[in-house]
Chains A and B, each alone.
Chain A
């Protein structure tokens, strides 16, 4: 009897401890965060840390590496192909992002107007984004083919050129060609997201502007653009990140050729790490992308800060 009573007391004590714990906001909060933290650590922090570590070693595929500090970076600094890939990546990102933004914004403004078959047109605009990247890349590979290019064929038949255009065989032609493919693929994302942003702008602002006699350009300059800027910041950050780290398009269309003229840091990293077997150096090339990516994220961070200011808060 005494034993039973004792255990009952203990039970009450334990359960009250649990109850109290679950009633505590701090404890509960921490518990709810555990799954998210676990996922972040397992799938983001750990791979990132492993990548950073690998970049500091001379690991070969199938072997154990030694720590060599910044050895990979010192060696890469002397590698002309690496520097070419850095240039290509920056060029690719800037050229593609600027055009994607311009066309995307233009499309979004158009789609925001009253159009016949509005929802159908919007769905069609999204198409390039829906097609798997590799498939569209293969299509572009055919479009740019040195012997079978449809563009060259049409221009030739129209009598505008005398021989097939060497789209992917000339360094600058190849760079512009892959940029064009990336733009085609990236525009829908920009357009649809900006369109969503446009639709959040209150019509009363435009009505007020109309009453004040504002021109179209003034309305765009003083209402649309400022109201849209937080969305623009987010969209362009994503667009820049995705373009900067692009792999599939390049790998399918040119494999980095001709003479490495379209090698991006991502494709070079793959070529060195997987095809070449030098995992450490490949990781180092990937790591070299991080400063650029962080810069892009910081840019968006400050863009978002501005949005708070726009909503009446302070900068």
Chain B
């Protein structure tokens, strides 16, 4: 935390407080909150395992504060994302386990009937803070009621080496897919290549492959949940990625979520998609070489393709409570408490901008502008689509992602093991197995 010491946090905090008091943030009409937690309530909360200790510590501290304020006992547990997914499903199946889970993406949409209706929490937060991002609403809502409350996203942005991009002839990071391809080609020529995971990397590979598919107008399903991935738009995306793949560092086909971190911090990789972790690790590293890399790197949003809008896919985090809980009101109270701006802001500062907020009103957190390199991560929810696009979130969208249908399609076409046309046809066949049930 070399350029983010306690003093600057303090200053930033004061600035945030001043903003809070200013007229900009005063809600149009005060939202009502009448929920009262059950007497002697005690809840079990299972959340994703932290990557930044300070973030978890703050979360635990706030949970403790919540207990002191409301008398609700909170038992906090953390596990890696991959393990939360099956546990959440089993909890839904057997009607026992945690009262509240903070998990990822479309998990709550796989068992919506088992979940506590969160409409009042969502309405309160939405009204209080001027509305949710549309994608947050997509993840939170099933039909007309909310089944989950988005916590934000552990966002991904392009990580690039400033000097290498400059040496490739780009003073500014390209904003469209054409410029992006030219940049990657120039980087390859300079022997400072880009690299994006094309293995079974849940976060990284799905992230950029979905982006590429959508950037050219392709999609797995249409709004009637009919599989339409075998389309000219998809093939255009595959042709594009094939050109892109030719510029990548060797081995991306075997990469999982951590390979690009290692290669980037070792100076072998000049451009990749990642969370803010590479920069944070580099900045705090005792190794002067890694510190140098952190200084020479910056972040950018994914370029915009022929469709003309941002088409990112981000790892959305969601709160969802189970109907089997004896204390649904305490569960709601907990979410409301943790999501209230004051607490969320303090937590965000502790995490150093690790989670992109789901409510635009939370963008004024000074942590986002404390270093311009953090700022691109702020708007992840503004720029992304839900992983079921353009159909519904649910069992099929989760299964298609879990089975790496889109990633495999891009990998097959990029390596030339089959033609783009064949790869799209195969992906359609695989996706249909899930969407037809």
Which chain A residues have a beta carbon within 8 Å of chain B's beta carbons?
58, 60-63, 75, 78-81, 144-148, 163-164, 166-171, 174, 254-260, 271-272, 274-278
Does residue B417 face the partner (Cβ distance < 8 Å to A)? yes
**Contact pick for A259, options B253, B256, B268, CB 8 Å:** B253
Q: Which residues of B contact A169 (CB under 8 A)?
A: 199, 250-254
Q: Which of B60-84 contact A (CB under 8 A)?
A: 82
Give 26 pairs: A residue, B residue, CB < 8 Å, sorted on A: A60-B110, A62-B88, A62-B91, A62-B92, A62-B93, A75-B433, A81-B408, A146-B249, A147-B262, A168-B199, A168-B251, A168-B253, A169-B251, A169-B254, A257-B254, A257-B411, A259-B412, A271-B402, A271-B403, A271-B404, A272-B399, A272-B403, A274-B85, A275-B82, A275-B85, A277-B402
Q: Which residues of A contact B200 (CB under 8 A)?
A: 254-257
**Chain B residue nearest to A164 in the complex (CB):** B250
Establish whether residues B199 and A277, one from each chain, have CB atoms under 8 Å apart when the complex forms: no
* Cα distance A275–B105 in the bound complex, in angstroms: 13
**Chain A residue nearest to B201 in the complex (CB):** A255
Q: Which residues of B contact A148 (CB under 8 A)?
A: 262, 266
Does residue B395 face the partner (Cβ distance < 8 Å to A)? yes
Establish whether residues B417 and A147, one from each chain, have CB atoms under 8 Å apart when the complex forms: no
**Chain A residue nearest to B417 in the complex (CB):** A259
Q: Which of B79-117 contact A (CB under 8 A)?
A: 82, 85-86, 88-93, 110-111, 114
Establish whether residues A145 and B259, one from each chain, have CB atoms under 8 Å apart when the complex forms: yes
Nearest CB of chain A from residue B294's CB, rounded to whole Å? 19
Establish whether residues B110 and A62, one from each chain, have CB atoms under 8 Å apart when the complex forms: yes
Establish whether residues A61 and B199, one from each chain, have CB atoms under 8 Å apart when the complex forms: no
* Cα distance A147–B264 in the bound complex, in angstroms: 10
Q: A63-B111, A144-B254, A278-B399 are in contact. List 19 more A-B contacts (CB 8 A).
A: A62-B90, A62-B114, A81-B430, A147-B251, A148-B266, A164-B251, A166-B254, A168-B253, A169-B199, A257-B254, A257-B411, A258-B199, A258-B411, A259-B412, A260-B408, A272-B403, A276-B399, A276-B434, A277-B399
Q: Which residues of B contact A254 (CB under 8 A)?
A: 199-200, 254
**Contact pick for A255, options B256, B429, B434, CB 8 Å:** B256
Does residue B437 face the partner (Cβ distance < 8 Å to A)? yes
Nearest CB of chain A from residue B159's CB, rounded to whole Å? 16
Most chain-B Cβ atoms within 10 A of its Cβ — which of A75, A78, A164, A257?
A: A257
Nearest CB of chain B from residue A154's CB, rounded to whole Å? 17
Does residue B25 face the partner (Cβ distance < 8 Å to A)? no
Establish whether residues A147 and B266, one from each chain, have CB atoms under 8 Å apart when the complex forms: yes
Establish whether residues A258 and B254, one from each chain, have CB atoms under 8 Å apart when the complex forms: yes
Establish whether residues B402 and A174, one from each chain, have CB atoms under 8 Å apart when the complex forms: no
Does residue B198 face the partner (Cβ distance < 8 Å to A)? yes
Nearest CB of chain B from residue A180's CB, rounded to whole Å? 15
In order of increasing CB-CB distance, the 6 nearest A-B pairs are A146-B251, A168-B254, A61-B89, A276-B402, A62-B92, A258-B253
* Cα distance A174–B412 in the bound complex, in angstroms: 15
**Chain B residue nearest to A149 in the complex (CB):** B251
**Chain B residue nearest to A258 in the complex (CB):** B253
Nearest CB of chain B from residue A82's CB, rounded to whole Å? 10
Establish whether residues B249 and A277, one from each chain, have CB atoms under 8 Å apart when the complex forms: no
Nearest CB of chain B from residue A209's CB, rounded to whole Å? 52
Q: Which residues of A contact B398 (CB under 8 A)?
A: 276-277
* Cα distance A70–B159 in the bound complex, in angstroms: 48
Q: Which of B404-433 contact A (CB under 8 A)?
A: 404, 408, 411-412, 415, 417, 426, 429-430, 433
Q: Which residues of B contact A275 (CB under 8 A)?
A: 82, 85, 402-403
**Contact pick for A257, options B91, B199, B403, CB 8 Å:** B199
Nearest CB of chain B from residue A52's CB, rounded to whole Å? 19
Establish whether residues A79 and B411, one from each chain, have CB atoms under 8 Å apart when the complex forms: no
Nearest CB of chain A from residue B107's CB, rounded to whole Å? 9
Q: Which residues of B contact A274 (CB under 8 A)?
A: 85-86
* Cα distance A169–B269 in the bound complex, in angstroms: 17
Contact with A along B234-268 (1 / 0, CB 8 A): 00000000000000011111111001001100101
* Cα distance A62–B94 in the bound complex, in angstroms: 8
**Contact pick for A277, options B82, B110, B426, B433, CB 8 Å:** B110
Q: Which residues of A contact B411 (CB under 8 A)?
A: 257-259
* Cα distance A272–B89 in the bound complex, in angstroms: 14
* Cα distance A148–B254 in the bound complex, in angstroms: 13
Most chain-B Cβ atoms within 10 A of its Cβ — which of A163, A170, A275?
A: A275
Establish whether residues A147 and B430, one from each chain, have CB atoms under 8 Å apart when the complex forms: no
Q: Which residues of A contact B90 (CB under 8 A)?
A: 61-62
Establish whether residues B266 and A166, one from each chain, have CB atoms under 8 Å apart when the complex forms: no
Nearest CB of chain B from residue A168's CB, rounded to whole Å? 3
Establish whether residues A257 and B253, one from each chain, have CB atoms under 8 Å apart when the complex forms: yes
* Cα distance A145–B253 in the bound complex, in angstroms: 11
Do A146 and B250 form a contact, CB below 8 Å, given A79-B433, A258-B198?
A: yes
